[in-house]
Chains A and B, each alone.
Chain A
Amino acid sequence: MIPAPFDYAAPATLDEAISLLEQHGDEAKILAGGHSLIPMMKLRFASPEFLIDINNIPGLSYIREEDGYLKIGALTRESDLEHSDIVRNKFPIFTDATKLIADPQVRNMGTVGGNIAHGDAANDHPAVMLALRAEVVATGPGGQRSIPIDEFFYGFYMTALQPSEILTEIRIPIPSASTGNAYHKLERKVGDYATAGVAVQLTLDGSGTCQEIGIGLTNVNPTPLRATRSEDVLRGQKITDELIAQAAKFASEDCSPSSDLRGDEAYKRSMVGVLVKRMIHKALERAR
């Protein structure tokens, strides 16, 4: 399978890339890792007339702690995130998630920014970023702006990014010490999209009360979904098995999975409940 013809540029600076976007508008697509875009182009689900390859732009791949945030450059490969020491120590949720994203070769190309900018509820980082209450930095002709993750996903393949903006960074607030986070997705085989996936981050205070919690769901809704009612059940409470069961029930009710080859709707709702329970327990263990 070969994509439809297109024209191609690999600018050396972000400014050039943005002016190409301004010039070509909707006809252009950004090429980062390409492991969502190129398969779609090969299947002719997408036929952009112009590809702007951002891989030659220096300074878009990094993982660093700065100003109270973990900052991840948009062009950071999944494999870099998978093997990062900062991540392994403070954000084990990314170690959980990256090893379940596709396979090693795809992770060598696929980027964190692309996983989010693609706007696909089946991708794994969106739910993780919801749990971590991340911000997405978009750079356009007017400079940078920061978009809270809750305002980023509009619909299927639709995001808050404007046609001339490029996702350049993801910022994750560094939480206080008594914080745990975890992610798991149920997948039929390596490389499959999630049947259901759940990301949880929670912070406890000195008395063991849940101060803050974030729960994100993968591939069980048209957009990546925050399980708001489940979070509300646990926030400000001492976490008990009864409350966890209630949070799991709410998440399974509030999502909206579609029946497909991975399972019917009822099965997926049930799996969301199971995974919410397991991920809360795992995050609790890591917080203590």
Chain B
Amino acid sequence: MKKQITITINGEQHAVEVEPRTLLVHLIREQLSMTGTHIGCDTSSCGACTILLDGKSIKSCTVLAIQADGKSVQTVEGLAAPGEMHPIQEGFKECHGLQCGFCTPGMMMRAVELLEHNPNPTEEEIRWGISGNLCRCTGYNNIVRAIQYAGAKMQGKETPSTEPTFV
């Protein structure tokens, strides 16, 4: 039995019908055709489906669409206007924070909330902060630097070196 819900995604209100069992990530990707949010493990382990629900990062494969009724969602598509880049996107670009790119939208959405609470995170704080996001390319060093770059950029500070590190 379908139910009517209203959900604001990236500032735009959508009135949609969903089955109660529809997962939030399926509503976003399949019904609303926003495929920037990825499905990785489908078991709330990998973080590829991370979005912001009322400003908090959550794994949209483990939340029902109907739970987002009346709430506000932000996905990677809502980070910046077309042709522009959010500082976190710029950080990932400048610091080689992505290789295959599959984990990237989830990593960035998680990083947005992390930086909101802690604008100057240490490397250790970032590694704990993204501990719910897996990068199968294992590109974590540059992801950490990308997030530090974004943190500096968002505060109008000088951004750190964008040279890749090799350990």
Contacts and interface: CB of A to CB of B under 8 A. Distances in A.
Interface of A: 1-8, 10, 31, 34-35, 38-39, 41-42, 51, 53, 55, 79, 99, 102-106, 108-109, 190-191
A34 B20 contact: no
A104 B125 CA distance: 12
Contact of B132 (A6, A31, A55, A102): A102
Contacts of A108: 56-58
Given A38-B62, A103-B132, A8 B44 contact: no
Interface string B115-148: 0000000000000110111000000000000000
Contact of A38 (B63, B110, B131): B63
B67 A105 contact: no
Contact of B58 (A51, A55, A105): A105
A165 to B, nearest CB: 23
A4 B19 CA distance: 11
Contact of A7 (B1, B57, B64): B1
Interface of B: 1, 3, 19-23, 26, 42-45, 47, 50, 56-59, 62-64, 66-67, 69, 110, 113-114, 128-129, 131-133
Contacts of A102: 44, 132
A39 B44 contact: yes
Contacts of A191: 45, 131-132
A41 B128 CA distance: 29
Given A34-B67, A42-B23, A42-B62, 5 more contacts: A5-B20, A42-B42, A42-B43, A103-B47, A108-B56
Contacts of B57: 104-105, 108
